[in-house]
Amino acid sequence: MKIKRTTIVIGCFLAELFFVNVTGQNKYQQHIQLPVIPQPNQVTLLQGSFSLTKDNGMILEMADSIRKQIMAYMVEEKEKPLYRHLVQISGKKKEKNNIRFIICPTQNIPTEGYHLRITQDSLLLEASQASGLFYGMQTLVQMAMNTENGQILPAVEIFDKPRFAYRGVMLDISRHFYGKDFLKKQIDLLAQYKINRLHLHLTDAAGWRIEIEHFPRLTSQAAWRTQAKWKDWWNGKRYYSTETHREAYGGYLTKNDVRELVEYAQKRAITIIPEIEMPSHSEEVLAAYPELSCTHQPYGPSDFCIGNEKTFRFLEEVLLEIMDLFPSEYIHIGGDEAPKTAWKTCLLCQRRIREEGLNGVDGLQSYLIHRIERFLNAHGRNLLGWDEILDGGLAPNATVMSWRGTEGGLAAVRSGHRAIMTPGAYCYLDSYQDAPNTQPEAIGGYLPLEKVYHYDPIPKELPDSLHHLIYGIQGNLWTEYIPTPEHAEYMLYPRALAVAETGWTNPDIKSWPDFHQRAMNAIEYMRHAGYNPFDLAKEYGNRPETAQQCKHKAFGKPVIYKAPYWHTYPAEGERTLTDGLRGGWNYNDGRWQGFVSSRRLDIVIDLEKTDTIHCIEADFMQLCGPGVFLPEQIKISISNNGNEFVPLTSWKHQVVRDDTLTIKRFTWKGEVSTRFIRYQAEASPTYGGVIFTDEIVVK
């Protein structure tokens, strides 16, 4: 009998992957890596193994109501061999070989934690509450899946508890709608990996996705649009349709759907957090109820009119129905990306600013957030919002979901608020997970499994005394470019498993090579269970040029910027273009330097002595979605004194908008003697955007 591909970690030393023979001698008693995601925090391997056979007894010591719930869960999940076995033997007590599940509230076992002790003739799983027992069961299920025949478990003792209380995944069901059955299927899998929050992005311009009795047009109109694919609709006229229209695309969760989902998730220790966007991302609401907009016209601004009391009556009615459906502590109110433009000229909004003494339109946004927070608090709930809720002063009890980097989270924590970390560069699961030319079109970025795995939600600069305010981590699946449920699974898995392990497992136990192998096994399991994960075995990886530093004649030489680089994408500043480091698939990877079109790229490299050169080459990126374009014109000139330059070569390049990521290399070859090289690149006046390059290579 063996555990598949188990890794032993001794202190900081990572042993090679090898098979542990648990029936044989094993001198390593600490920090065993089990074939389980997320890796349990304290594992000791014992002698021998425990067999799952018809001779087992099954004892459930806990309150009746919880026992019923656990039995119901195991019956629902009985395609998993372990649960099938436990259901078959439940209620039968034997002399030995008993499986005992105990929930004892007075036990000193931490929240969500569990103690599992497997010996040759007994299996004990105990917790102080139902969620802890549930997580112990998930560990057991995965151990059983990864042993031969699923019938022999290694003798082991585990004391486990999560690193973070909040371990979330967000699904955007507005941009594309996937219904109740899809959500249940994901809840099943996420729960297995000890994710405990499912955040549903229920409303956005692309469609309102939940029944609200007070406002029927939200679902008869705002839930439907004229084109199925978000991209076609967004690049087109962005019209809404009606539920009864033959060609309308959309859908929504009925109240009964939601009740069913909430109960289904609760049984799996998952809390569903609803998100209702305000004050912006609300075009669909304002199309159905234009009186809530500053212009009183549909298809106008995306922001609610905050000067109008009708807006608050609407939001409060909606939130009352939402709170009635979702028992979660948190109600997410969005709060992100408000353009605030219409507020500047709206008489009602301006009157509100005057009467309340607010600091312009930023103060107006803050007024709404504070007022909604008071409303939620009065109903026993807390407000959760994207990090823009910090603008204009954070509402007193609010929790920040930090997406624009880690600064929002840090600011929140420093002012004594909780933060949930979900920075785009590590947690946006809609980015490409492999080389873009091998993948279906994505919104951009490059976020392979390894990068997700290496993210630590606790920023290095945060003092220990504030660590407890980092409440957890969340992976976000925005779905602009994800039209089908199968595609959503492809983007979610296995990256959501890396989020799960970071959320649960202490950093000193985490091991990338071991996790990679466990993720491969999990993918095999997922396929078997009818999911559509990304095939990690075929991963191409980052751009080959990134693998090693490129030494050339301009390497380490000074660069003079005739026009500044864009401060948003500085990479390594003035060293970037001669540091020998080539960029990867992501313009945001700290190796590509950005130049906005108004300023263009115009630099001079000083070789510090006159030298004979034979080649000058540079790569440029194009990714039209986020506005990254190849240059239209490139000029190279040379000089021996740094003042008078003579042209060496130039290119005119026809910029064409497309859907793919392109990296194009411009190369000059010849022979010339020079000390200074001036490199200029200009954007197309038609497209503008940002020019990105990573290195000017001189040979």
- The one catalytic residue in 115, 176, 201, 281 is 281
Minimum distance, C-beta of residue 346 to Zn ion, in the bound complex (Å): 3
Nearest residue to 166 via CA among 61, 273, 88, 86: 273
* Residue 232, CA atoms < 13 Å, CB-side half-sphere: 8
For residue 382, the surrounding DSSP H or E stretch is strand 382-386
- Per-residue mark of binding to Zn ion, 113-152 (x: CB under 5 A): ----------------------------------------
* Site size toward Zn ion, by CB under 5 A: 6
From CA 331, how far away is CA 376, in angstroms rounded? 8
Minimum distance, C-beta of residue 197 to Zn ion, in the bound complex (Å): 34
689 conformational bin, left if phi > 0, alpha if psi -120 to 50, beta if neither: left
Nearest residue to 496 via CA among 168, 183, 196: 168
The yes or no reply on residue 383 touching Zn ion (CB under 5 A) is no
The yes or no reply on residue 305 touching Zn ion (CB under 5 A) is yes
- The one catalytic residue in 157, 260, 337, 441 is 337
From CA 481, how far away is CA 484, in angstroms rounded? 9
Binding residue for Zn ion, selected from 349, 447, 477, 577, defined by CB under 5 A:
349
Minimum distance, C-beta of residue 405 to Zn ion, in the bound complex (Å): 31
From CA 437, how far away is CA 623, in angstroms rounded? 12
For residue 93, the surrounding DSSP H or E stretch is none
Q: Are strands 57-61 and 98-103 parallel, antiparallel or unpaired?
A: parallel
Q: In terms of CB distance, is 135 or 343 closer to Zn ion?
A: 343
Minimum distance, C-beta of residue 282 to Zn ion, in the bound complex (Å): 13
* Residue 60, CA atoms < 13 Å, CB-side half-sphere: 20
Q: In terms of CB distance, is 294 or 384 closer to Zn ion?
A: 294
Backbone angles phi, psi at 233, to 5 degrees: -65, -45
Q: Which stretch binds Zn ion (CB under 5 A): 166-174, 221-229, 306-314, 315-323?
A: 306-314
From CA 503, how far away is CA 519, in angstroms rounded? 16
Minimum distance, C-beta of residue 9 to Zn ion, in the bound complex (Å): 58
Q: In terms of CB distance, is 155 or 346 closer to Zn ion?
A: 346
The yes or no reply on residue 419 touching Zn ion (CB under 5 A) is no
Minimum distance, C-beta of residue 361 to Zn ion, in the bound complex (Å): 10
The yes or no reply on residue 294 touching Zn ion (CB under 5 A) is yes
Q: In terms of CB distance, is 241 or 308 closer to Zn ion?
A: 308
- The one catalytic residue in 77, 112, 172, 204 is 204
Binding residue for Zn ion, selected from 40, 162, 207, 307, defined by CB under 5 A:
307
For residue 159, the surrounding DSSP H or E stretch is strand 152-160
Binding residue for Zn ion, selected from 124, 348, 411, 443, defined by CB under 5 A:
348
337 is a catalytic site residue? yes
For residue 496, the surrounding DSSP H or E stretch is helix 495-504
204 is a catalytic site residue? yes
Minimum distance, C-beta of residue 218 to Zn ion, in the bound complex (Å): 20
Q: What is the residue-wise DSSP string for 646-660?
A: EEEEEEE------SS
Q: Which stretch binds Zn ion (CB under 5 A): 6-14, 234-242, 349-357, 578-586?
A: 349-357
Q: At what angle do helices 130-145 and 180-192 cross, to 10 degrees?
A: 80
Contact assessment for residue 435 and residue 585, using Cβ atoms and an 8 Å cutoff:
yes
The yes or no reply on residue 420 touching Zn ion (CB under 5 A) is no
Three-state DSSP class for residue 687:
coil
Minimum distance, C-beta of residue 341 to Zn ion, in the bound complex (Å): 11
281 is a catalytic site residue? yes
Q: In terms of CB distance, is 161 or 352 closer to Zn ion?
A: 352
Report 308-347 residues binding Zn ion (CB under 5 A).
Answer: 346
Contact assessment for residue 399 and residue 417, using Cβ atoms and an 8 Å cutoff:
yes
Q: ω before 436 within 30° of 0 (cis)?
A: no
Nearest residue to 185 via CA among 530, 605, 648: 530
Q: ω before 423 within 30° of 0 (cis)?
A: no
The yes or no reply on residue 577 touching Zn ion (CB under 5 A) is no
Q: In terms of CB distance, is 291 or 456 closer to Zn ion?
A: 291
Contact assessment for residue 142 and residue 39, using Cβ atoms and an 8 Å cutoff:
no
For residue 466, the surrounding DSSP H or E stretch is none
For residue 142, give every residue at least 6 positions away whose Cβ sits within 8 Å of its Cβ, in sequence order, or none: 34, 35, 36, 37, 192
Contact assessment for residue 123 and residue 146, using Cβ atoms and an 8 Å cutoff:
no
Q: In terms of CB distance, is 286 or 630 closer to Zn ion?
A: 286
Q: In terms of CB distance, is 63 or 347 closer to Zn ion?
A: 347
Q: In terms of CB distance, is 279 or 583 closer to Zn ion?
A: 279
Residues belonging to the active site: 204, 281, 337
Q: Which residues bind Zn ion (CB under 5 A)?
A: 294, 305, 307, 346, 348-349
